[in-house]
Chains A and B, each alone.
Chain A
Amino acid sequence: MFLDNFKIAFNSIFSNKARSFLTVLGVIIGVGSVVLMLAIGEGAKNSVSKMIESFGTNVIFVVPGKIEKGKSFNPVATVGENTLTNKDVEDIQKKADKIKDVAPISLLGGSLVYNKQIASSAIMVSSTPALADAMNGELGGGRYINDDDINNKSKVVVIGSAVKDELFSDQDPVGKKVTFRDTTLEIIGYTKKKEQNFQFGGFSFAGFSTMPRTTAIDITKSDQIFRIICKADSNQNVDAAVSQIKSTILDNHKGTEDFSVLTQDDILGIAKDILDLLTILVASIAAISLIVGGIGIMNMMLVTVTERTREIGIRKAVGAKNSDILIQFMIEAIVVSFMGGLLGVLLAFAASFAVDRFTPLSPVIDLNFILIAFSISFIVGVIFGLAPAIRASRKDPIESLRYE
């Protein structure tokens, strides 16, 4: 009986190929875009994870503002003027014996200029020599900032790989002079290029253009600290290091916990939470087109039911119950919608291939997304097939048999 209904459905759908295809186009596009959006979100999550994992498992970030897992946090508290101080950095260095490297990092406003050309890809920061060790940073050439640079307030900079590509392409930039906020800086090195499709705001060692912290304080007249980046002496000691850092800063801040100490796992979790939220948002917008697709199916089913009035009359005359007719047309709507879902998934595969090839994003289609796509198309079929199927099932047999 059930199989018979499928046979009837396929028969009806394929006897009107063009109409069926145009009808399911809405579902195809809807399902396709939902899956594509989910895939792009998943791809972004993978890139971010890879980037954060490249810091190494024993890296620890101290950020201003209180972030607790599972609770919403105030992002503004983590980027504005804040309470982390030089003393915090020094005390961590002194008191936390499970910490190998400590580096304060500050974001600097202003443009890096070479030959009147502004490096648009520059993310200017200031730090200490320990940053390279703390973030497992690698250089493509030249040298990194050293203690002498800090002590002498040397006017030097280590540029990011993107800046090197932008300003110098294949030339060696070491020894060249650039200007930053009216100060001339000598390039002493550049970071090693990391193959990453998606830079999460450029927050990686390779993305930074770094100058000595002392030099920067002279230029900006500010000793603000954006993050403190620490490295535990081993993977096993990460938790102990976190509590050492916490107690040290708490002492300095008179017991106010106006900062957070985050491990790689914590940051991964936060980044994934944010990206999940964004992905759901974008996918929900894409899902609106599914309603349009559903209406298309409803329209086609209403036409089909009217066209097949006589068939309904015949079926009833030979003993079909109202529920038999209802199920028959429901299955037809679901089959149409499901086929739309199937084609939509294929479309999503094609589109994500194109996105991967022609944009910096690398979408990843998870098996779950395909299951979601099929469930959505099933539900669309049920919802929008119901009204036409009810109409079919309630038709009067005699009037239906007389229908021309």
Chain B
Amino acid sequence: MIQIELNNISETFTSESVQVKALLNINLNINKGDFIAIIGSSGSGKSTLMNIIGALVRPTSGVYKLDGQKVSGMNDKKLANLRKNRIGFVFQNFNLIPRISILSNVELPMVYKRVSKVERRERTLTLLKKVGLEGRSSFRPNQISGGEIQRAAIARALANNPDIILADEPTGNLDSKRGEEIMKIFQDLNKEGITVILVTHDIEKARYANRIIKMKDGSIVGDENVSR
């Protein structure tokens, strides 16, 4: 079943008064429950594509539909609701808020969803257990290791039961052992039915996916299904 539908998507932005064409007429369909790896060198447009799918940016032109609903053209408020309810982000540099505890970081999406405090607390502890961070809830991000921070970030991404997880170089700042552990978590989440879209330049990590999309200079240059 097609979940994500991109038709003729282009993205242009101006950087230091130079027009940069980040994406050129991208056409891509992604099925629900897929594990996609988008690979390409830096500047190939893979992160931009992920940001469009994640409703962080509106495409300059083209139509993006999520479950048949048109996302391109939504206002800020609707995009925020979409990110809150359907999508979980995992970043290369973790992006946890440093001043607050792991617990507060993980429950952040639930705060914006107006989930009650008791329910929030309960779900956060369950999620932390799921990613192997029991007993770390009161720590601040700078008091735990990089691998642990990224697990906390995954727990945060899962807070509101999203059906899509977007991970941008999630293992880029981790050693290979921690990286493998993180990839296993994504694999487990995908088995639970969550669509996982992984952006990476590491072909080893791309092997966890069932479909690999290769990008270059803002265009898709390869698209293959792989057997795991």
Give me the interface of A with B, judged by CB distance under 8 Å: 1, 4, 8, 11-12, 15, 310-311, 313-324, 397-398, 401
Contact = CB atoms under 8 A, between A and B. Distances in A.
B55 to A, nearest CB: 9
Contacts of A401: 91, 95
Give chain A's interface secondary structure class: helix
Contacts of A316: 56, 80, 83
Nearest to B80: A321
Contacts of A318: 83-84, 89, 108-109, 112, 156, 159
Nearest to B83: A319
A311 B97 contact: yes
A324 B95 contact: no
Interface string B64-91: 0000000000001100110111000101
B80 A398 contact: no
Given A11-B100, A315-B112, 7 more contacts: A11-B99, A315-B97, A316-B80, A317-B83, A317-B95, A318-B109, A321-B80
Contacts of B159: 318
Contacts, number: 65
B79 to A, nearest CB: 9
Interface string B87-118: 00101000111011000000011011110000
Given A318-B84, A319-B112, A321-B80, A398 B97 contact: no
Contact of B99 (A12, A317, A324): A12
* 4 A-B pairs closest in CB distance: A319-B84, A318-B109, A321-B80, A319-B112
Contact of B77 (A12, A311, A314, A321): A321
A323 B112 CA distance: 11
Residue of B77, B81, B97, B111 with most partner-chain A CB within 10 A: B111
B interface bracket (residues with beta carbon within 8 Å of A): 20 to 34
Contacts of A397: 56-57
B56 A320 contact: no
Nearest to B93: A401
B99 A1 contact: no
Contacts of A1: 111-112, 114
A92 B51 CA distance: 96
B97 A320 contact: no
A310 B93 CA distance: 12
A393 B55 CA distance: 17
B80 A322 contact: yes
A322 B99 CA distance: 21
Contacts of B96: 314
Interface string B141-163: 00000000000000010011000
A320 B99 contact: no
Given A314-B95, A318-B156, A4 B51 contact: no
Interface of B: 51, 54, 56-57, 76-77, 80-81, 83-85, 89, 91, 95-97, 99-100, 108-109, 111-114, 156, 159-160
A322 B79 CA distance: 11
Nearest to B13: A398
A397 B52 CA distance: 12
Contacts of B114: 1
Given A310-B95, A314-B97, A401-B95, A322 B108 contact: no
A321 B85 contact: no
A321 B81 contact: yes
A314 B108 CA distance: 10
Contact of B108 (A315, A321, A323): A315
Contacts of B108: 314-315, 318
Nearest to B109: A318
A146 to B, nearest CB: 84
A80 B132 CA distance: 92
Contacts of B111: 1, 4
A319 B113 contact: yes
A334 B165 CA distance: 37
A319 B80 contact: yes
Contacts of B83: 316-319
A337 to B, nearest CB: 21
A11 B76 CA distance: 28
Contact of B112 (A11, A15, A324): A324
A318 B77 CA distance: 13
Contacts of A4: 111
A343 B82 CA distance: 43
Given A11-B100, A324-B112, A398-B57, A319 B95 contact: no
Contacts of B112: 1, 315, 318-321, 324
A88 B156 CA distance: 92
Given A1-B111, A11-B99, A11-B100, A319 B160 contact: yes
A136 B80 CA distance: 78
A15 B84 CA distance: 28
B114 to A, nearest CB: 6
A314 B104 CA distance: 13
A123 B83 CA distance: 81
A246 B121 CA distance: 80
Residue of B54, B56, B57 with most partner-chain A CB within 10 A: B56
Nearest to A396: B57
B76 A322 contact: yes
Given A1-B114, A11-B99, A398-B56, A322 B109 contact: no
A73 B112 CA distance: 61
